[in-house]
Amino acid sequence: MVRIQIYDTTLRDGEQTPGVHFGVQQKYDIAKRLARTGVDIIEAGFPASSHGDFEAVRQIAEASARGKLGDATVSALARMRKEDIDAAADSLSEARRRRLHVFIATSDIHLENKLRITRQEALDRIRDSIDYAVGLGRFDEIEFSAEDATRTDRAFLLETVRLAAQRGAKIVNIPDTVGYTTPGEFKEILREVKKNLPDDVRISVHCHNDLGMAVANSLAAAECGAEQIECTVNGLGERAGNAAMEEIVMALNVRADAIRREDGEPLFCGVHTKEITETSRLVSSLSGILVAPNKAVVGQNAFAHASGIHQHGVMAASGTYEIMNPEDIGLTGHTIVLGKLSGRHAFADRVLQMGYSLDAAGIDATFARFKEIADKKSALTDDDVRAIVGEYLDSLEGMYYLNTFQIQSGNHIKAMALVSLSVKNPADPDEPQRIVTEAAPGEGPIDAAFNAVNRIAGAEDAELVSYGITAVTEGTDALGEARVKIRVASTTYTGRGVSTDVIKASIKAYLGAINKWKSMQEQAENREA
């Protein structure tokens, strides 16, 4: 049996999803959940890219030292530069097992247009950087990635991987960076790469999903010698995302009979499938990216049967239309219901079980929201609690908070909103908050409210990219969860808000996005100062 190592890059490549930004605490919570799910390697971030990423990798490494991440290896990404490799070494220093992941683009299109270097210069950088990393002696293992490998001249790709292995990379990754390859073609590449590498070098693959083949390509590679698959929870990632961890794992489980090495040897991985649902939900909640209802394995409809014929079949024998048991991915239908009489302790316990580690102030704030909502709504489910905690975490970076609002709208009058916000001074959190009120017209109540917020926050240039509101649970008293995406100066920011009042939920979501933009702006100003 060959064990396929699952390398999770939700915290690094997954965070490259447009509009997604995980705070340090959120990354820490996801890392703990990933470890509990049984992934082998957690790519914690790209430490040289920002102070926040460095700090997140450092804290995750520290958690690993304290035994909070089981046996998971902690990995950090670096370009082929000394500063990047030093940042990776410093941030990883406490981890139980430290992996450096160095990459360089190898395709001509990337070398010529992005890096503006020759193939020889790329080879020089590979040699010098891996030599430098080996010389530091601060990593347990080094992984080399040939970015855009599938569009790289084959002979040159083989030259780069041979060189990386000779200099000391024990894991060689073949990324399909732009989701271009096909299972048949990828198999050929993998066979050649394998022939060119010594047996003690592990081959990894990293597939993007631009043509919807990321999972198929990853599994095809595993059949031809890859021993590590890089993937993300819910398939998060740049553009169409990365290979989805839950799909890889369930395919390896459900079709162990068919997905095998070419010589017939069976494959398996160490992920605990029963943790998949909880992990998917935590990542969806913290990323603010909803899982499509028809998404394989973790979509809301993955086990729902609408047609009468299918329902009848499933009731008679679940295998008629279900190839997996919902219980196998931890979908039990059992959601703990909390109500108005539930105490702080029960609430805090549930929040912890769901994977969030809030401090006492966080529990106080979310419990207060929970009580406020429980007064209006008889029973709250896990989904409600997730929405409340998600909104709270989004608000942590906040400068603007909703104080009061009044809306006038109707079918014969122009909508008008009067919004009043509490405004914090980010440079001095102890300074008393100011209350600022603005009125603005709009095409409807939501447009008017957003316009009033824009006036207060100086965000007239913000463009609303998407807005949606969903009922978290069933019933007319359900919590409405609003999600907003805005674009300012070509960067997108997301926010979410929950309330039993949809306008209030919408304003809070909009403020969440505005707050993220302001906090990024402030970080950029601090860096320049």
Contact set with Zn ion (CB under 5 A):
13
Distance, C-alpha 56 to centroid of its chain: 14
Closest CA to 378 of 285, 506, 470, 479: 479
Binding to ligand KIV, residues 208-237 (CB under 6 A)? 208
Q: Sign of the C-alpha dihedral, residues 263, 265, 269, 272?
A: positive
* Residue 320, helix vs strand vs coil: helix
- Residue of 147, 159, 247, 384 interacting with ligand KIV (CB under 6 A): 147
* Residue 438, helix vs strand vs coil: strand
Binding of ligand KIV by 79 (CB under 6 A)? no
Using CB distances below 5 to 8 A depending on partner kind, what does residue 204 bind out of Zn ion, ligand KIV, none?
none
Using CB distances below 5 to 8 A depending on partner kind, what does residue 103 bind out of Zn ion, ligand KIV, none?
ligand KIV
How far the first Cα of the chain sits from its last, in Å, is 56
Q: How far apart are CB 125 and ligand KIV at their closest, in Å?
A: 15
Binding of ligand KIV by 386 (CB under 6 A)? no
Binding of ligand KIV by 110 (CB under 6 A)? no
Cα separation, 86 vs 78, whole angstroms: 9
C-beta closer to Zn ion: residue 13 or 84: 13
CB atoms within 10 A of CB 430: 6
Residue number of the CB atom closest to Zn ion: 13
C-beta closer to ligand KIV: residue 59 or 177: 177
- Residue of 25, 59, 177, 232 interacting with ligand KIV (CB under 6 A): 177
Cα separation, 234 vs 247, whole angstroms: 9
Binding of ligand KIV by 17 (CB under 6 A)? no
- Residue of 103, 144, 367, 400 interacting with ligand KIV (CB under 6 A): 103
- Cα Dmax for the chain: 76
Q: How many CA atoms lie within 13 A of 158 on its CB side?
A: 13
C-beta closer to ligand KIV: residue 106 or 519: 106
Q: How far apart are CB 105 and ligand KIV at their closest, in Å?
A: 8
C-beta closer to ligand KIV: residue 206 or 377: 206
Using CB distances below 5 to 8 A depending on partner kind, what does residue 110 bind out of Zn ion, ligand KIV, none?
none
One-character DSSP codes across 471-491: ESSSSTTPPEEEEEEEEETTE
Tokens of 32: 């703990």
Using CB distances below 5 to 8 A depending on partner kind, what does residue 145 bind out of Zn ion, ligand KIV, none?
ligand KIV
Binding of ligand KIV by 145 (CB under 6 A)? yes
Binding of ligand KIV by 13 (CB under 6 A)? yes
One-character DSSP codes across 296-346: TTTSTTTT---SHHHHHHHHH-GGGT-SS-GGGGT--S----EETT--HHH
Cα separation, 118 vs 66, whole angstroms: 44
Binding of ligand KIV by 175 (CB under 6 A)? yes
Closest CA to 522 of 392, 431, 398: 398
Q: Which residues bind ligand KIV (CB under 6 A)?
A: 13, 103, 145, 147, 173, 175, 177, 206, 208
